[in-house]
């Protein structure tokens, strides 16, 4: 795969990364662990060098899975993980926690689970309203000085919070949702990142599977699948939002591509410092996603896509209010 640099001074990574959350969290009963380790290693064979995990995924078990899978390839890959949530004894999230002492504890635990001497990219998973962002950035700055972390990242943060953190410890990358059906970062976030030299890592670049065309109003999700509680994934909204998938399918046919490839290629075409992290538990989807790298657009084509999208009103909120506040996704 081709490479991109995350921000002005960040690491060089593959054009597409791999989101590993679904290998042990959120979408269904966890797949077979050995199969997921094999899938991560297949991704390396195919040129992916950027892998995303978090202590919240499981919690904890996803980091351990990724650590085992990548241990033989440590010098070839960039691993991102996250801090910022608190959990009770049963593993349920109990809120945000970005106190400096907690950040240090999470870093030590993540280093062990990931089997690394330094965390390549350490994101604050969600902004903690009870802890000044300057204190958070300062804690990560100390970890960087100690050689335990290489780069500082943030997730789903607003532009003023990003600026305040960046003034204390340069932010290498922001991870937030961005896709053809969630374009809010374009208004303020992307211009700010470009100004400050910060890379952007879109999560859910395929709309949690919806943009692939494999989901419609008749799809039944596993009872453990968090999409059961997402307004955008009610049967009514899935039916209404098929108009977007129909457009993607038409555009994809014109490019001899799949809807997933077109959606990822569109993201790659927005900025050279954007690195999407589509997740999957299936090898054929992994290989399909990698084909996005060969799909290109002219400026005229991008304008035509924007014009077509402007005619479509996506139905349903991306999260419930509770999930918006508390989720680690």
Q: Which domains does the chain have, with CATH numbers?
A: 3-326 (3.20.20.100)
Is pLDDT above 60 for 202? yes
Residues 31/224, Cβ–Cβ less than 8 Å? no
328 or 267, greater pLDDT: 267
How far apart are alpha carbons 54 and 123 in whole angstroms? 9
pLDDT at residue 149 in the model: 98
Q: List residues with catalytic annotation.
A: 57
What does pTM read for this prediction?
A: 0.97
| Sign, CA torsion 194/198/199/200 | negative
Residue among 264, 325, 274, 328 nearest 297 (CA): 264
Q: Average per-residue pLDDT in the chain?
A: 96
The pLDDT assigned to 329 comes to 45
What percent of the chain clears pLDDT 90, i.e. is strictly above it? 93
**More confident position, 139 or 328:** 139
Q: What is the per-residue pLDDT across 111-151, written as a single tens digit (0 to 9) for each? A: 999 999 999 999 999 999 999 999 999 999 999 999 999 99
């Amino acid at each position: 795969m081709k490479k991109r640099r995350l921000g002005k001074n960040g690491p060089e990574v593959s054009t597409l990364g791999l989101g590993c959350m679904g290998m042990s969290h959120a979408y269904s009963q966890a797949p077979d662990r050995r199969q997921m380790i094999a899938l991560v290693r297949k991704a390396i064979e195919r040129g992916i060098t950027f892998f995303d995990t978090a202590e919240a995924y499981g919690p904890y078990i996803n980091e351990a899975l990724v650590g085992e899978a990548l241990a033989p390839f440590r010098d070839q890959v960039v691993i991102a993980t996250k801090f910022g949530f608190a959990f009770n004894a049963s593993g349920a999230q109990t809120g945000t926690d970005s106190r400096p002492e907690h950040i240090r504890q999470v870093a030590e635990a993540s280093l062990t689970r990931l089997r690394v001497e330094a965390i390549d990219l350490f994101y604050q998973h969600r902004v903690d309203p009870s802890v000044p962002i300057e204190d958070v950035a300062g804690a990560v700055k100390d970890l960087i000085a100690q050689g335990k972390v290489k780069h500082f990242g943030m997730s789903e943060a607003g532009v003023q919070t990003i600026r305040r953190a960046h003034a204390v410890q340069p932010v290498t990358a922001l991870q937030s949702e961005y896709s053809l059906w969630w374009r809010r970062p374009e208004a303020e976030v992307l211009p700010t990142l470009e100004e400050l030299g910060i890379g952007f890592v879109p999560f859910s670049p395929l709309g949690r599977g919806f943009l692939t065309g494999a989901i419609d109003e008749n799809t039944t999700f596993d009872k453990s699948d968090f999409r059961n509680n997402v307004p955008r994934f009610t049967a009514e909204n899935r039916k209404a939002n098929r108009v977007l998938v129909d457009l993607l399918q038409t555009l994809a046919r014109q490019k001899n591509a799949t809807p997933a490839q077109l959606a990822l290629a569109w993201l790659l075409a927005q900025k050279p410092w954007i690195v999407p992290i589509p997740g999957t538990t299936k090898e054929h989807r992994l290989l399909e996603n990698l084909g996005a790298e060969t799909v290109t657009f002219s400026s005229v084509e991008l304008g035509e896509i924007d014009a077509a999208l402007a005619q479509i009103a996506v139905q349903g909120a991306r999260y419930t209010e509770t999930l918006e506040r508390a989720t680690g996704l």
